[in-house]
Amino acid sequence: MRKILVVEDEDAIREVIALNLRMAGYDVAEAASAERALELLGAEQDGFDVALLDVMLPGMNGFSLCETIRRDSAEVGIIILSAKTQEKDKINGLSIGADDYITKPFSVSELLARVEALCRRVTRQATEKQGESRLVSGQFVLDQKSRVLYKNGQPIDLTQVEFQIMELFFQNPGVALVRDKILEGVWGKNYYGDVKIVDVNIRRLRMKIEDEPSSPAHIATVWGYGYRWKP
């Protein structure tokens, strides 16, 4: 059974989210603070598949919690829940390692769809880890077992979303991929969110793999269309 951690300080909202997730067949743990969430994350031996993080928490806020979780694990899926609707807030959340960002108010069906999509990615990642496959593209090697990207033999840690984008690039070298194709390939056909989530993750990838992120040599922008991978 997939395990979900719901971190929300408003009892009524947290209980409704948890109830609907349990009705959908998930094993759910609840936390009213970031500090409690970290305790649960540390105590759960098998780990959580997905963590839902409210931004406005007492003490440590959701953004800081996201950063803390991501420093320890690239595997757990993270969805930020927030009433902050400004573009800069969404970009901030995605830039620090969240896989998705949902603005309040949201429907139960939207939340369940996004959790399910993220759980599928987590499951696919775990399945691929059992193999020995390595994808090679120029000076880069993508190890599908360790989920690590190597550049000239040096490891680069990626989040699961970043890793899946790189898989898509490696499988389509030199091909201009429209943003919608990247969105569908990584987030799924029924993703509710904005296509700009692709741009945020591309920006983050460039910071990790390019010698000069402002003048990328490998992830090229195809203006008005999408991106192309150049080994």
Structural domain boundaries in the chain? 3-127, 130-229
Task: Check pLDDT > 60 for residue 127.
Answer: no
Coil, helix or strand for 140? strand
Task: Tell me which residue of 67, 59, 10, 5 sits closest to 35, measured CA to CA.
Answer: 59
Contact 28, 22 (CB under 8 A): yes
pLDDT in tens, 12-52: 999 999 999 999 999 999 999 999 999 999 887 778 999 99
CATH number 3.40.50.2300 is the correct assignment for the domain at 3-127: yes
Task: Out of 1.10.240.10, 3.30.1360.10, 3.40.50.410, 1.10.10.10, select the CATH number for domain 130-229.
Answer: 1.10.10.10
Between 135 and 210, name the one with better pLDDT.
210
129 vs 64, residue with greater confidence: 64
Q: Please, what is the average pLDDT of the chain?
A: 88
**Percent of the chain surpassing pLDDT 70:** 94
Provide the pLDDT for residue 95.
Answer: 80
- Tens-place pLDDT, residues 158-169: 887 888 899 999
